[in-house]
Amino acid sequence: MGKATGFLEYERTDNPGAEPMERIKTYREFHTPLCDEKRREQAARCMNCGVPFCQSGAVLGGMASGCPLGNFCPEWNALVYKGLWNEAADRLLLTSSFPEFTSRVCPALCEKACTNGLDGKAVTVRDNEYAIIEKAFADGYIKPCPPKVRTGKRVAVIGSGPSGLAAAQALNRYGHSVTVYERDDRPGGLLMYGIPNMKLEKSIVERRIKLMKREGIEFVLNADIGKDTPAEKIVSGYDAVVLACGAGNPRDIQAEGRDTQGIYFAVDFLKATTKSLINSNMADGEYISAKYKNVVIIGGGDTGNDCVGTSIRHGAKSVVQLEMMPMPPECRTAKNPWPEWPKVLKTDYGQEEAIAVFGNDPRIYQTTVKRFISEDGKLTAVETVKLSFESGKPVQVPGSEEIIPADLVLIAAGFLGARDYITKAFDVEMTPRTCVKTEAGHYSTSREKIFTAGDMHRGQSLVVWAIREGRECAAEVDRYLSSEGSAT
């Protein structure tokens, strides 16, 4: 362990963030890392608790508790405290493919299960992870790791999001030749176009892609398999295929006036902003603008919050976020004990910025859209209605309707599953939830030599789960390719 009394001597200190009114001036990441000395103090707070729930990844109360990757958090915390940064990086990279991503966008399941959090404040595990990997990159410790021997087997990975990249990295290190196909103009999938720069600057994604290319992985862009390229051409040309295309079907809102001009899916709004930002620093105007508009966001999750922060940076006139579920409690209830995931109120960066700019929290709970209102086909307002819950199902409350001005509506209601043109092209069996079907705990599909991983397999989830699935899928593909039945 680190310092035996560290958790008693040092208070938790998070990486400080810029004030909301300052950070909304740019699309940059806005947290400043602590110096090495202060970071070592934070690592010293890890208390050698005996049962490190932080790395368990166990499912408690229907939700994960601890890191799904099984990261050895206590070990690398102790190494950071001792100043052994390279050794800490070695232990971190043993279980984590891309710490530079998870240390920025993961909701830190490790911290929610930290024993320090039972009667105090959890260890800054995610910030410590960030410090380890960024120092490793800055010091030149992270270098390409191409395999010394190639197996002669060829694998196609369809999709370059977190699960696809994790699978590709692992398969390449097993010695197989890997080609990643991406339908967009840049690799990264969700990491590139689904997560705003404020949380994950695209130079971080590009840095990892360059490293993977130097390790021997090939990327083919603007390749929409199943449309531009026949799926059977891919199947016949490779020894194995991994489908890692994500959960690409956004959940829609079926309400009167849905075809009104000015209503968009959140994923299209965020993608267009990021692409314009990369291409021209927003000068080309090739994005869905929220400037001077009354924005209504339907959905209270992370994507909805990202839409809040992005709309504010555009210069929105007002921002309202509709949340179907009731407002969570501020503290754990007796039915939600540690180390379960805390089902408590969270005010994220976008909501903080809305409070600073507009003077109030943008979220309205137990509310949904009943009708979209327009003039000459152009959106002008939405009619909302309150919801009550009967036997767990939402029911509209009569007489609770309200009119809210709206020039732009962004639907951030989650995703349903895989795009059907891809699954039909590869002729794989599906689950009722429109995910690619496999046996429990496995990644092989109903078709020989075709595997799947990530959101396409498990449904919409976290980046950390996608990385875990990519790694596990790669191990299963490697076993398949190593067997006698894999010859083509």
Domains identified in the chain and CATH numbers: 6-138 (1.10.1060.10), 154-248+416-486 (3.50.50.60), 263-411 (3.50.50.60)
Of the chain, the percentage scoring pLDDT greater than 70 comes to: 99
Residue 138 pLDDT exceeds 90: yes
208 token code pair: 């990892």
| The dihedral sign for the CA sequence 442, 445, 448, 450 | negative
405-460 pLDDT tens trace: 999 999 999 998 899 999 999 999 999 999 999 999 999 999 999 999 999 999 99
Alpha carbon distance 427, 445 (integer Å) = 10
25 C-beta neighbours (distance < 10 Å), count: 10
Count of helices and strands (H, E) across the chain? 17, 16
pLDDT of residue 1: 65
Rg of the Cα trace of the chain?
23
233-245 pLDDT tens trace: 999 999 999 999 9
pLDDT of residue 392: 86
Do the Cβ atoms of 89 and 141 come closer than 8 Å? Answer: yes
Q: φ and ψ at 310, to 5 degrees? A: -70, -40
Pairing of strands 378-390, 393-396: antiparallel
361-411 pLDDT tens trace: 999 999 999 999 999 989 999 999 999 999 889 999 999 999 999 999 999
What is 89-131 written as a DSSP string?
HHHHHHH-S-HHHHHHH---HHHHT-GGGGSS----HHHHHHH
Contacts of 233 (CB under 8 A, 6+ apart): none
pLDDT of residue 484: 54
Do the Cβ atoms of 180 and 161 come closer than 8 Å? Answer: no
Tell me the pLDDT band of 487, cut-offs 50, 70 and 90: very low
Going from the C-alpha of 268 to that of each of 102, 204, 250, the distances in angstroms are 23, 22, 10
35-72 pLDDT tens trace: 999 999 999 999 888 899 999 998 998 889 999 999 99
With tokens 């076993």, the residue in question is 479
15-27 pLDDT tens trace: 999 999 999 999 9
Put simply, whether the predicted model's pTM sits higher than 0.75 gets the answer: yes
Contacts of 204 (CB under 8 A, 6+ apart): 100, 101, 104
Local structure of residue 338 (DSSP, 8 states): T
Angle at 107 between CA 170 and CA 452, to 5 degrees: 35
Do the Cβ atoms of 247 and 165 come closer than 8 Å? Answer: no
The residue count of the chain comes to 488
Query: Mean pLDDT of all residues in the chain?
Result: 96
Residue 147: is the preceding peptide bond cis (ω within 30°)? Answer: no
Strand partners, 364: 322
What is 10-48 written as a DSSP string?
----PPPB--HHHHTTSSS--B-PPPHHHHHHHHHT---
User: Helix %, strand %, coil % for the chain, to 5?
Assistant: 35, 20, 45
Alpha carbon distance 342, 20 (integer Å) = 25
250 C-beta neighbours (distance < 10 Å), count: 20
| The dihedral sign for the CA sequence 458, 459, 465, 468 | positive
380 token code pair: 């002008």
Do the Cβ atoms of 469 and 443 come closer than 8 Å? Answer: yes
Alpha carbon distance 134, 281 (integer Å) = 25
3-state secondary structure 186-253: CCCCHHHHHCCCCCCCHHHHHHHHHHHHHCCCEEECCCCECCCECHHHHHHHCCEEEECCCCCCECCC
277-326 pLDDT tens trace: 999 999 999 999 999 999 999 999 999 999 999 999 999 999 999 999 99
Alpha carbon distance 181, 164 (integer Å) = 9
Pairing of strands 177-181, 154-158: parallel
172 token code pair: 């390449």
Alpha carbon distance 320, 210 (integer Å) = 39
The candidate with the shortest Cα–Cα distance to 244, out of 152, 179, 153, 306, is: 179
